[in-house]
Every structure is written in C-alpha cells, then in structure tokens.
Structure 1
Amino acid sequence: MPLTADELAAHVESWAPTPLVREDCLLPGPAAAFAALLGRPEDGPAAGDPLPPLWHWLHFLEWVPQQDLGPDGHPLHGRFLPPIPDRRRMFAGGRHEVRRPLLTGVLTRRTSSLGSVTVKQGASGPLLFTTVRYEYAQEGNICAVEEQDIVYRSDSAPAVPSPLTAPEEPRSTESWQLPLAPDPVLLFRFSALTANAHRIHYDAPYARETEGHPGLVVHGPLLALLMLELARRNEPRAVRYFSFRLRSPIYACEPLLAHGTPDGARAALRVSTGRADRHSTGEVTFE
C-alpha cells in the first residue's frame, strides 16, 4: 500500500545527503549528437564555443552498473534519491541562472546539494517534493546555478491508463514556433544521450501496464530544451535566466509545438499538443 503523508515524512526525516562534486570536460561530442537529433547538425558548438543553456544536461552522466537499476530503470541508490519504498519519480520543473557562458571543451566542476524537502498531499496521495541545487564552475568562476524540482510518490500498485485520443496538430498565432513529432526513435536517442533508463520512455507495455500511461512518455528535459530552442533560434540576446514547469505528459507520436512571444527582455514560452495548450510552461529573461 502507498505510504501515508506521515509515514512518507518519517522516512526522510533524518535524510541529509552531503554535497557531491563531479567534473566533466564538456567535450563537443554530446552537443553535436543533440544538434543532429534536432535536425540541425550544424548547430553543434565546437571546442571553446559557448554551450547553449541546459545543454550541460548531456554531461555529468552517471552510468550505474546494470545490477544497480530498479525495475523502472532508475538507479536503486543515489546521493539525492530519497529513501522511500516503491519510489516513483517525476521531474516537475526548475530554474536556471546563467552568470557567464559555459564553454565547450573546458573542465567544469559541478557541485550538487540538496535544498528543500517537503511532503504535500496530492490528488492521488502524498507526494515528496525535493529541490536539488547545482553550481557549475569553470576556471574557478561560477558560470551557472540551477535548481531542479523532483516529485516522488511511493506506490507499487498498477495504474489504469487513460485512453489517448487521436493526435491533432496544435495551432498557434505566436511569433516563435518550433514543431516536433517525437516518435519512439527520437525518444530512444534522447534517452541514450542523457543516460536515462526510465522505461516509460522506451518500453510501451511497461509504460501502460505499470505506470498507467497510454503510451511512451516524452522526456520532461526534452520539453524544457525545446522551449529554450525557441529563444536560441529567434533571439540574438543571450539567455540570463530560465524557469520552467512540467505540467502534464506528452506521448510519443503526438505532434507538439513549442511556441511563445517575446516581450522586451522576457519571453513567455509553452509546449502544446492538440489535447492541451500548456503541457509545459516557461519564462526566459535575456541580457
């Protein structure tokens, strides 16, 4: 049975992981691969070029031993994975501040630490909200500060998937538009690029029968990156700050549209399908 809110809070009452420091040279290969996935291989930065905001998600990857993966494909153990049974993980959103560009091919130090930990009552039961903070430094200077909001629930009961209606093309009148048709091949490639073994992105029977989705789930980080692609392709000013929220899933083979409109030094962004207008929302601030 799922834990109650009090039981969930008791499991993490003494959980206080220490900060973790890792290094990565941000070699250009992963960025070149992601640019190719987006259909624009010419956009891959060369060594010494600025890395587009959030493309550091292609680095600092953790390839845990196969025997240390859980039945959902996520690692069983990790510095910032809460000690709760039957753990289900959802990426809810985050914030990213750019102080100076991260440069491709330069040794980068990432310091990770646990921020807030809160138990809340959700519609389907108690939820554990955690925030993990990351600082990225090159040559002794902090270049970027990021916070990621992750939601966990404790529930091993099979869910019943809701039927998915026939996909429709989303429409928009906004000035910035970026359509994408995320088929299973694209999701597989993005999983490989980000070392994400969560089975909801590539194992359709598991996604339906165990986690209750009507199909393969489009990665939340991919939706955030698509919103930033709007700014990168349409705005010459550099991104200073980006906040985003992942509100509801999008599924494989659903046509999606990242779109938004600039307003001075800011732009409001979102990702839509024919089913819903605001699967993901974001706001970007420019220099």
Structure 2
Amino acid sequence: MTQPVPPPLNSYVESWTPGPVTDEDPLPTGPVAALSAVLNLPDPVAKAGDLLPPLWHWLYFLSWPAGQDLGADGHPRDGHFLPPVPQRQRMWAGGRCEITRPLRLGEPAERISSLAAVTAKQGRTGEMLFVTERREFRQHGHLCLVEEQDIVYRSGRTAGQHPAALDESAFPHPDSPWQLPLRPDPALLFRFSALTANAHRIHYDAPYCRDEEGYPQVVVHGPLLALLMLELPRRHAPDRPVRSLSYRLRRPVFAGEHLVACGSPADDCAELHIATHREDRHATAEVSFA
C-alpha cells in the first residue's frame, strides 16, 4: 500500500507570523559565577558593573515552562517562536552577533525578540525548516547587541549518522596558537542544562539518547561548544574586544570525548573551531575585533 506523501513544511507556516516579544532581566551576578565554576575558572569572569563576555548573555532571559508543557523529549511542546510543525525535531544550526557595546553585569537589560526569516530547504535526509530569530538587547535605552539564531526543524525522527561506540582516549592536540582542551562529562552537561533552562533529554538521559535518538552517549550542547570557542579570544586576547562573531554547529560531540577548542588569530579577526579525534571541525566560528 502506498504511503501518503506528507505535506511540505512550508504549508504549516504559511500563516504563522508571531509578533515581537519584549522581556527584561536584571542580569544578576549569580549565573556568571556559576558558569565560571562549571568551566573550572578560579574566579567569576565578571562581577557587578563589569562587561559581560560575548555570548554569556545566554545565561539570562530564560524561559521555564511548566513541566506539563514539555514534550516527551523534554523540549517545550509550544512556544511563541516554535513553528507549528507536527512531531517537531529541533536542532541549533548557528548564529551571528553584532556587539556595539557589551552588556554590563548587574544592570537591567531589555530584549526584543522577533521572527527574522523562515525558509524550507531540502537536505540529504529530507526537508528542513530554517527559522531565524532576531534579538536586540538594550541597556539604559541604548542598543548594545543584535543577535540572530538559526534553528533547524524537521517533522518526525530521522536516522543520523553517529558512531556506535566512542573512543574516550586522549588525542594529539591540533597545531593551533590558541587551544582549550576539555573532556565534558555528564555532570558538566547537567549543570550547563540547569544554567540555560534546557530540559532536552539528549543532554542528560543516556538511555533516551541511545534508544530514541540513536546517539552513543549524551550530547554536548551546541551553545556550550560556541561558548568554548569564544573563551579563546577572551583568555588569549583580553585587550581586543569582540565586535562581531558568527558560528556554525556542524557535528555533535558526546560526553566523555576529549575535545579541543582551537583558534588562529589574525590582525583584526580570528578563526575558531572544535576538534576531536573523530573530526577536525565539529563547530566553527569567526570573530572580528573592535
């Protein structure tokens, strides 16, 4: 019997036009101190009145839906910028950020979120819906930074190409001027999930990862990989403020694997990437300095 052809993803979002949403956050110091501890830093990277490092604003403006509003995968079933796609599967693909003036920790900030673009594309494993959310951050009436996040959605589950078992042995570090090695374990990922209000089970539920998603182990958060790459200019070039950045998340990294954040600086920019023994570029980023 011939299976019915599902409608194109575009058909679900033809009339989907969510309006802008404004949120406020006092930017308390606690989350920065907590993430600093998770990354094994001796002291918080910023205290009240200091400038927030690039992408550390992801610790703020968080949404905590009720437990009954989560799906079987731990992700919210509904949300203002979640497209009305059946059996929605979500992946963070990448993003961009323009920093006019960094946010200042401990001072109230405003975020205005809006839908920037919705595009359907055909990939190797089927149709994908790319949703770009734009976010403007302000303090004291001044525009501080503009961020765009690219999220990919599929309808239903797809079989990914993932290793059946992991090699958790160390590997020779790539020959890069900037390096930051890390072996993320489930405890680190659990703590990062808590700090970012992320209940997606792929980051803490190993049986779910193996049985439902086909992963060999729990998955390292894409935002954590991006933050690790941005740690390189923060640690190695603290006197060169980042003016703009872009990043792309390409292949998952799993708990227990040794990874290295690598960076190659130039006069006014730097190229960054995440490497493991399996692949040289699980994630990539480019930063431009002020």
Superposed pair shares fold, TM > 0.5: yes
Matching residue of 1:100: 101
Q: Residue 166 of structure 2 contacts residue 216 of structure 2 at CA under 8 Å; is this kept in 1?
A: no
Q: CA deviation at 1:172?
A: 1.2
Deviations 1:235-272 (A, max 9, x none): 02111011000000000000000011101000000000
Q: CA deviation at 1:170?
A: 4.8
> Does structure 1 residue 240 correspond to structure 2 residue 243?
yes
> Does structure 1 residue 269 correspond to structure 2 residue 258?
no
Q: CA deviation at 1:212?
A: 1.6
- 2:4 & 2:148 partners in 1: Cα distance? 28
Instruction: Give runs of ≥4 in structure 1 deviating > 6 Å.
Output: 157-160
Matching residue of 2:281: 278
Q: CA deviation at 1:156?
A: 4.1
Count of aligned pairs: 286
Q: CA deviation at 1:122?
A: 1.2
Write the letter of the residue equivalent to 2:253: I
1:249 aligns with one of 236, 248, 252: 252
Q: Residue 109 of structure 1 contacts residue 136 of structure 1 at CA under 8 Å; is this kept in 2?
A: yes
| 1:53-92 superposed matches below 5 A | 53-92=54-93
| 1:213-228 superposed matches below 5 A | 213-228=215-230
Q: Residue 2 of structure 1 contacts residue 154 of structure 1 at CA under 8 Å; is this kept in 2?
A: no
Structure 2 stretches lacking a partner, 5+ long: none
- 2:162 & 2:95 partners in 1: Cα distance? 27
SS at match of 1:164: coil
SS at match of 1:187: helix
| CA RMSD between the two structures | 1.6
Q: Residue 64 of structure 2 contacts residue 197 of structure 2 at CA under 8 Å; is this kept in 1?
A: yes
- 2:264 & 2:202 partners in 1: Cα distance? 32
Structure 1 stretches lacking a partner, 5+ long: none
Q: CA deviation at 1:94?
A: 0.3
Matching residue of 1:24: 25
Write the letter of the residue equivalent to 1:123: R
Q: CA deviation at 1:109?
A: 0.3
Q: Residue 170 of structure 1 contacts residue 256 of structure 1 at CA under 8 Å; is this kept in 2?
A: no
| 1:1-287 superposed matches below 5 A | 4=6, 6-156=7-157, 162-168=163-169, 169-235=171-237, 236-287=239-290
Same amino acid, percent of matched pairs: 56
Q: Residue 247 of structure 1 contacts residue 279 of structure 1 at CA under 8 Å; is this kept in 2?
A: yes
Q: Residue 158 of structure 1 contacts residue 210 of structure 1 at CA under 8 Å; is this kept in 2?
A: no
Q: Residue 125 of structure 2 contacts residue 158 of structure 2 at CA under 8 Å; is this kept in 1?
A: no
TM-score under structure 1 normalisation?
Answer: 0.96
Q: Residue 158 of structure 1 contacts residue 209 of structure 1 at CA under 8 Å; is this kept in 2?
A: no
Distance 1:3 1:59, change over 3 A: farther
TM-score under structure 2 normalisation?
Answer: 0.95
Q: Residue 166 of structure 2 contacts residue 257 of structure 2 at CA under 8 Å; is this kept in 1?
A: no
- 1:2 & 1:225 partners in 2: Cα distance? 43
SS at match of 2:213: coil
Deviations 1:27-78 (A, max 9, x none): 0000000001111141331111101111010001111100000111011111
- 1:55 & 1:244 partners in 2: Cα distance? 15
